[in-house]
Structure 1
Amino acid sequence: MSIRSIILIAVGLFLIYLMFTVGAPFLLALIVAIFLEPLNGFFMKRFKMNRLVAAIISCTLFTVIFLGLIVLLGIKIVAELIAFMKKLPHYFENANDFVDKLLIDARGMYQTLPPDAVTTLETYLLKLTDTITTLVAKLSDTVVNFASTLPGMFIFFIVFFVAVYMFSFSLNTLKSSVLSLFEEESRPKVDQVLNNLRKSIFGFLRSQIILSAMTYILSLAGLLILDVKYPMAIALLIIIVDILPILGTGSVLVPWASYLILSGDVFTGAGLLVLFLVITVFRRVVEPKILGDSVGIGALSALISLYVGFKLVGIIGVFIGPLIVIIYMAAKRAGLFQNKIKL
């Protein structure tokens, strides 16, 4: 591989990283505009509209439906999230009191132990108490930080909606501009790559939506059966955490279940552990299959790209890893990579 090819690949990976960070609203807007393009074509062909009018109607329909869903579902979830975040410090304070009581009660049980063992045990218990206190402080900071991000989220969505309209207005000219960067004989292959990318990316997004929806349903059903407060908010938190291929739902459900079992609520604690096992098995079994079928890559390749992307870049890598594999497979199907190993 030439130095020029290596530089182009490095620049391409860097641009992909930027798209998933600072360019996120524009990337999402471009995806939505591509998704709305068949509707634009329908309006232009069926009602003899020009692109500007068709794009305004389709984008307005998308905006109204999107905001309507936020109003119908978001208000309830946000209300539960706010109430849940307010209660979290209280829960951890109870846990702190529980550990203190456990420490006092345990002293009478281990007085017969050697002094060194008693000192070591008390040190670990005191560290646990300090950890809980630190968590309470961090949770309070999290509430404040969440409130401080609201103006940024408002700006994000304003830019996103405006970009949807702008991309929808000029999507055909944008594609022509991209194709004009390549030589005449290379344009059919590039066009094929773009079409394959469109199908694969939408397949990837569809698979993530399906997995998240199924995980949310499982989590919500389990929490409702266990009669847990704020089930919608907690189920949403489980989905967000479950995106991480390393931490997963265990970082939420396992400590919570352990605390409930130690505090005497064995039924709810055991139920949360069962819910954790069900969600984990479901995600690990179904995710590679759904992702592989949706984007046209193998289940093993999908799993490896998720894991490697997360380890190298973090949470953004969960999306960048499969995207890189998708781009490579699209280019390979278009005939851009035909090199064979010759011994």
Structure 2
Amino acid sequence: MSIRSVLFIGLGLLMLYLMFTVGLPFLLALIIAIFLEPLNGLLMNRFKMNRLAASTISSSLFTLGFLGLIVLIGIKIVAELIAFLDRVPKYFADGNDFVDKLMVDGRSLYQSLPPDAVATIEDFLVSLTQYIQQLIGTLSKTLLAFATGLPNMFIFFIVFLVAVFMFSYSLNTLKASVLSLFVESSRPQVDQVLVNLRKSIFGFLRSQFILSALTYIISFAGLLILDIKYPMAIAFLIIIVDILPILGTGSVLVPWGSYLIITGDLFTGFGLIVLFLVITVFRRIIEPKILGDAVGIGALPALISLYVGFKLVGVIGVFLGPLVVIIYTAARQAGLFQKRIQL
């Protein structure tokens, strides 16, 4: 592989990383614009509209539907989420007080044990107290970051909605501009790559939506069975955390369940642990299969791309890793990267 090819691939990976970070609203807007393109074509062909009018109507319908969905579902979830997060610090504070009381009450019970055993028990209890205090501090910082990030979220969605209209209006010229960067003989292959890429990306997004929806249903049903308050908000938090590969939900359900077991609520505590195991096993079994079928790559490459992407660049890599595999697969299907190793 030539140095030029290596630089080209490196530049492409850098652009993908930037699109998933600072360029995320524009990337999402481009995906929505591609999704709305059939509607634009219908309006232009059936009703003889120009592209500006068709794009205005399709973008307006998407905006109204998006905002309506937020009003119908988001307000309920946000209300439960605020109420739940308002009570979480109290839960951790009660847990801290419980551990302190346990240390005082239990000291008389284990003082008769050998000195090494007493030191081990006290070190464990001190570590447990410090862990709870760290959780309280982390939670407070998270709530503060969420509150301070609301203006940025508002700006994000405004830019996203405006970009949806702009991409929808200029999508055909944008594609022509991209094709003009290549020589005439290479344009059919590039166009085929774009077609395959569009199918694979929409399949990837569809698979993620299906996985998140199934995880939400399982979480919501489990929380209802356990008679836990704010099930919609907590299930929403679970699917966000579950984006992280390998035991992602454990950071929510395991400490919570362990605390309830220690404080005597055995049914709910063990129920949360079981719910964590069910979600984890379900995700690990079904995720590679759904992802592989949706984007046209095997279950093993899908799993490897998820894990490697996460290890290299964090949560963004969960999406970036499979996308790199998708792009490579689309390029090979279009006739690129067909060279074989010759010994």
If the TM-score is normalised by the length of the shorter chain, which range does it land in?
Answer: over 0.9
CA RMSD of aligned residues (A): 0.9
Alpha-carbon shift at residue 77 of structure 1 (Å):
0.6
DSSP 3-state at the match of 2:149: helix
Q: How does 1:104-115 map to 2 (within 5 A)?
A: 104-115=104-115
Alpha-carbon shift at residue 134 of structure 1 (Å):
2.6
Which residue is equivalent to 1:30?
30
Q: How does 1:1-343 map to 2 (within 5 A)?
A: 1-343=1-343
* Structure 1 Cα separation of the partners of residues 23 and 213 of structure 2: 26
* Structure 2 Cα separation of the partners of residues 52 and 16 of structure 1: 29
Q: Is this contact kept in 2: 1:219–1:235, CA < 8 A?
A: yes
* Structure 1 Cα separation of the partners of residues 341 and 139 of structure 2: 55
* Structure 2 Cα separation of the partners of residues 243 and 142 of structure 1: 18
Alpha-carbon shift at residue 138 of structure 1 (Å):
2.5
Count of residue correspondences: 343
Alpha-carbon shift at residue 140 of structure 1 (Å):
2.0
Q: Is this contact kept in 1: 2:95–2:132, CA < 8 A?
A: yes
Q: Is this contact kept in 1: 2:247–2:280, CA < 8 A?
A: no
After superposition, the C-alpha distances for 1:5-41 in whole angstroms (9 at most, x for unaligned) are 0000000000000000000000000000000000000
Letter in structure 1 aligned against 2:243 = I
Alpha-carbon shift at residue 87 of structure 1 (Å):
0.3
Letter in structure 1 aligned against 2:212 = S
DSSP 3-state at the match of 1:245: coil
Letter in structure 2 aligned against 1:18 = L
* Structure 1 Cα separation of the partners of residues 47 and 142 of structure 2: 51
After superposition, the C-alpha distances for 1:20-78 in whole angstroms (9 at most, x for unaligned) are 00000000000000000000001111111111100100000000000000001111111
DSSP 3-state at the match of 2:110: coil
Letter in structure 1 aligned against 2:326 = I
Alpha-carbon shift at residue 233 of structure 1 (Å):
0.8
Q: Is this contact kept in 2: 1:241–1:247, CA < 8 A?
A: no
DSSP 3-state at the match of 2:337: coil
Query: Post-superposition, which runs of at least 4 consecutive aligned residues in structure 1 deviate over 4 A?
Result: none
The range that moved more, 252-261 or 6-15, is: 252-261
After superposition, the C-alpha distances for 1:149-168 in whole angstroms (9 at most, x for unaligned) are 00000000010001000000
After superposition, the C-alpha distances for 1:154-190 in whole angstroms (9 at most, x for unaligned) are 0000100010000000000000000000000000000
The range that moved more, 268-277 or 51-60, is: 268-277
DSSP 3-state at the match of 1:229: coil
* Structure 2 Cα separation of the partners of residues 54 and 153 of structure 1: 28
Alpha-carbon shift at residue 127 of structure 1 (Å):
2.3
Which TM-score applies when normalising by structure 2?
A: 0.98
* Structure 2 Cα separation of the partners of residues 92 and 244 of structure 1: 24
* Structure 2 Cα separation of the partners of residues 335 and 123 of structure 1: 63
* Structure 1 Cα separation of the partners of residues 119 and 290 of structure 2: 52
* Structure 2 Cα separation of the partners of residues 166 and 106 of structure 1: 67
Alpha-carbon shift at residue 139 of structure 1 (Å):
1.6
* Structure 1 Cα separation of the partners of residues 191 and 339 of structure 2: 21
DSSP 3-state at the match of 2:237: helix
* Structure 2 Cα separation of the partners of residues 189 and 147 of structure 1: 48
Letter in structure 2 aligned against 1:70 = I
Alpha-carbon shift at residue 230 of structure 1 (Å):
0.9
Letter in structure 2 aligned against 1:284 = R
* Structure 1 Cα separation of the partners of residues 270 and 138 of structure 2: 27
Alpha-carbon shift at residue 212 of structure 1 (Å):
0.3
DSSP 3-state at the match of 2:338: coil
Q: What 5-or-longer segments of structure 1 have no aligned partner?
A: none
Alpha-carbon shift at residue 259 of structure 1 (Å):
1.0
DSSP 3-state at the match of 1:228: coil
The range that moved more, 124-133 or 208-217, is: 124-133
Letter in structure 1 aligned against 2:215 = T
The range that moved more, 314-323 or 134-143, is: 134-143
Alpha-carbon shift at residue 126 of structure 1 (Å):
1.6
Alpha-carbon shift at residue 131 of structure 1 (Å):
2.2
The range that moved more, 40-49 or 268-277, is: 268-277
